[in-house]
Structure 1
Amino acid sequence: MSDTVDNKNAADKAVSDIMEIEDSKMDTNPDTNRLALAQMMGSEEFKLAEKKLKRKLDIRLLAVMWLIFVLNYLDRNNIAAAKVAGISKSLHMSATQYATAVAILFVGYVLMQIPSNIFLSQIRPSLYIPAVMAIWGIISACAGVVTNPAGLYAARFFLGFVEAAFYPGALFLISSWYKRSEMGVRSAILFSATQLGSAFSGLIGAGIQYGLDGARGKPSWRWMFIIEGSITVFVALCAFLILPDWPSTTRWLTPTERAVAEWRLIEDAGQVDEDDAHWGTGFKLAFKDFRLYIFAFIFFCLQVASATSNFFPTVVGTLGFNRVNTLLLTVPPYFVAMFTSIFNNWSADRRQNSSFHVMWPLAIAIVGFVVAAASLNTGARYFAMVLMIAGGHGSNAVVLAWTQKTLIRPRVKRASAVAFVNAFGNIAQVWTSYLWDDKTAPRYALAMSVNSAFALLAIVGALVMRLILQRANKKLDAGGAGVADVMKGESQAAIAGLSEEERNLRREGFRYIL
């Protein structure tokens, strides 16, 4: 107990001392002041301040983003539970019309991601993200009152258009606060919200099906949209007060915490994370980097392999259970997927390796696809469903974190890159919706074969990217190229308070994560 008190007193004294330095040594450049403030801190003082900062971020940034993403995925994928609850019958929809309702969301989703992320890099995230969340909550609730397929198409399209702002924006914001060694596991924790959202969709759907079917003359699927959309709007209003902006502009951080937030990112990448590039320049830098397209290809293949989620309750329904039990049986595979994803990304961070952590979950998913298509045994098929969900989702966060660990600076380049990779990958969600024709049940041989093939292609893509980055690191080790050469035009902004020689040493210490 005394050690804890001593550490707290030391941290408080450090903050007090640094604040005195800041007040007495202010010059005309606030950015220089902040960075100089961090450089003057002792090692123990810096670690204590950094620990306090990360605790704040994990609560006010990561935890809130996680909750928002649960609702994001719930509002996006509740149509799968709605199918089991009878939406196709109520709206007189054919299998093709239902597939179109699923697919059309991703048309809007793909169109808006890159413009939204570039826009986000220029404004306050604490205002932008909650605002779009409130809008998509309203749209999701409106889906509960549509009376024909055309109305559902419109609601789904605009839902995707607005929801597009969130996931790439959340990843981009996380990468603006956490170091590369911290980003993977936090990206996985964020991504685990998709599995929990899918699990909750089954639980909530089962509860609404059991308790509200026919209430006030409405079928249960309408209550699903209305209740879940209303919850989203409420959480959005709370998020306005909690989320941070950028390290240099977040108002609820102390000056010391802002200094520490910026300096630790500089130490990690050897350069500042400010936008010294116009958004157009950063956009061009991203699209001139050939590695962007390899990451996009990998993520596209991953999204094909994990597109089962859009039809998972229907797939589970082929086991022959009633509606409530079918929805409940969708829950365990997503919990397994959540823990698999978090463990996989934690391991990727700890081992400083991304490529192999993309490959092994996909190999597991391939086993699941093959067994599901080959067997009609109930136990074997349900086990295969667990494998296909856990394996198909286990690599997604690794790829997006790896993209941002590789295409780092300037800020707009990173924002454009992660948005493009996520948008391009989600094109897969448009056409894969038509693979799950009811006539091919229960084996869904075509869908399972396509999923297996694209999972294998993603494994090959990850291996290719590993070899490319390995080659770049060897050039740096041999001194045959500088960091500026291998980083494909990324920012080389000066670090305040360091000599040119010290800046060069920091940059030359940079190596890509394989």
Structure 2
Amino acid sequence: MVTGAHDQDISPNPPASPGEKSFTAYNTPSLPSLTGDVAGSEFTWSEAEERAAVRKIDFLVLPLLFFGFYVFQLERGNISNALTDGFLKSVGITQDQFNTGQSLLYLGIILLEIPSNYMLQLVGPRLWISFQVLAFGLVGVLQAFQKGYGGYLATRIMLGVTECGYIPGALFIISTFYKRSELATRNSIFFIGNGLATATSGLLAYGILPLGTRFPSHKGWQWLMIVEGCMSIFIAVLLLLLLPASPHCPKPLFLPIRVWTPNQEKILVARMAKDDEKNNRSSHRLTLKDITSTLSNWRVWPHVLIAICLISQTGALGTYGPTLIKGFNFDTLTANALSSVSGWIGLVTTASFGFFSDRTRIRGPVVVTGLALVWAFWLAFQQKSLSTDRWLKYGLQIMVQGFSIPSHPINATWLSLNCRSPQERSVAMALFIMAANSGALVGSQLLRGDDSPLYKRGFKVCLCLVSLGLLVAILQHIQYRLSNKRLEKRKEGQEESLESDETASKWRYTI
């Protein structure tokens, strides 16, 4: 029998046919998208039917958002590959000026993340994020023609403005289609889009940068930005044509196709309502009270601090990764190709951590384990920074980068599962992505020109940040456990409480 958080809504019945091993019954009087023949009556579905409906989400919604994140990261990160192809000299800027432009990119995202999330609620996530992918694709193409410090700063700011809000918007869409027990794996798959971009960006650069020699009208780094910008525009068109808005509105915006059968559409809504009664609405309008209450929730902020600490060192190595490898005495194309290995490691670790987290329903210890591994590799990398063994330094660097990836999506899932409403989750996710971009902003200033090429100071700061993130993750896990014990004691003392308090009395923090 399929069970959910609200067992009082489940009523067992015999299988409708010998082929149905079990099924779910759910009273759906308040589901607005259900048709008149079902509304107000008991709606039943089998496990096989639910799996079939979810499989279509996995093969439509998730891949679209995944590839949106993939091109998102390509646009943001291709400048690290451009650095190895004489980008600074071509544009006419210094390394510290380059760092300033990177800071402006992340500052634009930080300042506009909450307003973008409000627009997402107002316009709808489908239209908003499709528009964003189209916009940053156009900016990605046009940045190939930047010249001078002013032009460089302008393109970085515009890229930040157009990219803000995509990640929380996509995470919000995922949270409306998947149950709490399914989120960690799907969020991890979504974040693999980031890892895949890291894994393939060096390989793409290896293939595209030589176009500057073959077609000298543009330099290699310009061809790189033009090609990858066109890829983003193509994904934007797919999003506009195919992405459904929510379980309540599962039809694509423009194409007259029906992905789910009428019965599966009802299952999409009913299973989410059974998983959490707060999902039993077709519209979750965001208010100022939702924003202020989320910002005043102190339990959100440790997750924010973990994200800042983790992404700051990830951003530093992500930006200068190919350049560092080139400094280990590798040529330009080889350095770009070798830089992709960390992304493939990240793909494996992210999928593995997410799968394990969903199977065990453990979040905090998984985040702590991931951060502990990053800390250990950072310690070794920092200690061996003076080594003359280029393959040893390269191996430690890609292990740091590869194991920095999986903790971030699990931390996002951990935060999401501890939000009590879709509105709180929406604001918390926007705040979380703001934190990640704040970390990237910090990371853009860690490796500076006066500290090159060994970056002794920058590497020590990175190690300290990972240490702080690890400590905060441990304390956050402990406080959730203690909070659950207090809630359990309070429940024992309120067994005679009113029925209206029943949902609150069942709440437990995800540890």
Specify the TM-score bucket, using the shorter chain as the normaliser: 0.7 to 0.9
TM-score (norm 1): 0.86
Residue 474 of structure 2 aligns with which residue? 463
Output the CA distance in 2 between the equivalents of 1:7 and 1:86: 68
Matches within 5 A, 1:169-208: 169-208=169-208
The answer for the alignment partner of 1:366 in structure 2 is 375
Partner residue of 2:275?
A: 268
Tell me the amino acid that sits aligned with residue 77 of structure 1. G
* 1:223 Cα deviation after fit: 0.6
For 1:448 and 1:169, the matched residues in 2 are separated by: 33
Mapped contact 1:109–1:161 kept (Cα < 8 A)? yes
Correspondence list, 1:32-431, <5 A? 40-42=42-44, 45-213=45-213, 215-251=215-251, 252=258, 253-274=260-281, 275=283, 278-307=286-315, 308-375=317-384, 376=387, 377-409=389-421, 411-431=422-442
Partners of 2:313 and 2:362 in 1: CA distance: 22
**Are residues 255 and 441 of structure 1, via their aligned partners in 2, closer, same or farther at CA, if it must alter by over 3 Å?**
same
CA contact (8 A) 1:267 1:506 kept: no
Residues 30, 280 of structure 2: 8 Å contact kept: no
Distance 2:135 2:16 in 1: 45
| Change beyond 3 A, Cα 1:273–1:104 | farther
Cα distance in 1 for partners of 2:116, 2:163 equals 10
* Larger displacement relative to structure 2 (76-85 or 53-62): 53-62
Is the contact made by 1:271 and 1:507 (CA closer than 8 Å) also made in structure 2? no
**Count of aligned residue pairs for this structure pair:** 480
Matched to 1:512, the amino acid is Y
Cα distance change, pair 385–269 in 1 and its aligned pair in 2 (3 A): same
| Aligned residues of 1:35 and 1:262 also touching (Cα < 8 A) | no
CA distance in 2, matches of 1:297, 1:210: 41
Structure 1 pair 265–480 and aligned structure 2 pair: CA distance change class (3 A):
same
User: Taking structure 1 as reference, are residues 8 and 392 closer, same or farther at Cα in structure 2, changes over 3 Å only?
Assistant: farther
State whether residues 103 and 430 of structure 1, in contact with CA within 8 Å, keep that contact through their aligned partners in structure 2. Answer: yes
State the AA in 2 paired with 1:355.
Answer: G
In 2, distance between residues paired with 1:481 and 1:148? 68
Matched, 1:444 2:455: yes
The AA in structure 2 aligned to 1:290 is W
Matched with 1:497 is none
Please list every run of 5 or more consecutive structure 1 residues that lacks an aligned counterpart in the other structure. Answer: 1-5, 484-499
C-alpha displacement of 1:199: 2.0
- What letter is aligned with 2:103? A
Q: Which moved more, 1:219-228 or 1:251-260?
A: 251-260
Post-superposition CA distance 1:115-156 (Å, at most 9, x none): 112221233322221111111100011000112121121111
The structural deviation recorded for 1:482 is 9.9
User: Does the aligned pair in 1 maintain the 2:31–2:270 contact within 8 Å?
Assistant: no
Tell me which amino acid in the other structure corresponds to 2:326: G
Contact 1:372 1:443 in 2 (8 A): no
CA-CA distance at 1:272 after TM superposition: 3.1
Contact 1:64 1:239 in 2 (8 A): yes
2-structure distance, mates of 1:333, 1:442: 21
CA distance in structure 2 between the aligned counterparts of 1:506 and 1:402, rounded to whole angstroms: 20
Report what 1:496 is aligned to: none
**Judging changes above 3 Å, is the alpha-carbon distance between structure 1 residues 151 and 470 closer, same or farther for their aligned structure 2 residues?**
same
Q: Distance in 2 between matches of 1:75 and 1:510?
A: 41
The answer as to whether partners of 2:138 and 2:233 remain within 8 angstroms in 1 is yes
Q: Write the letter of the residue equivalent to 1:461.
A: V
Q: Which amino acid aligns with 1:431?
A: V
Contact 1:37/1:256 (CA < 8 Å) preserved in 2?
A: no
State the Cα distance separating 1:459 from its structure 2 match. 1.4
| Distance change in 2, residues 1:32/1:138 (3 Å) | closer
TM superposition score normalised by structure 2: 0.86
* Compared CA separation, residues 255 and 285, structure 1 to 2 (3 A): farther
Inter-partner Cα distance in structure 2 for 1:281 and 1:464: 28
Please say if residues 447 and 458 of structure 2, whose CA atoms lie closer than 8 Å, have aligned partners that are also in contact: yes
Change (3 A) 1:157 1:278: closer
SS in structure 1 of the partner of residue 429 of structure 2: helix
The answer to whether the 8 A contact 2:33-2:269 is kept is: no
The 5-angstrom pairing of residues 473-484 of structure 1 reads 473-480=484-491
Q: Does residue 512 in structure 1 map to residue 509 in structure 2?
A: yes
Distance 1:288 1:373 in 2: 38
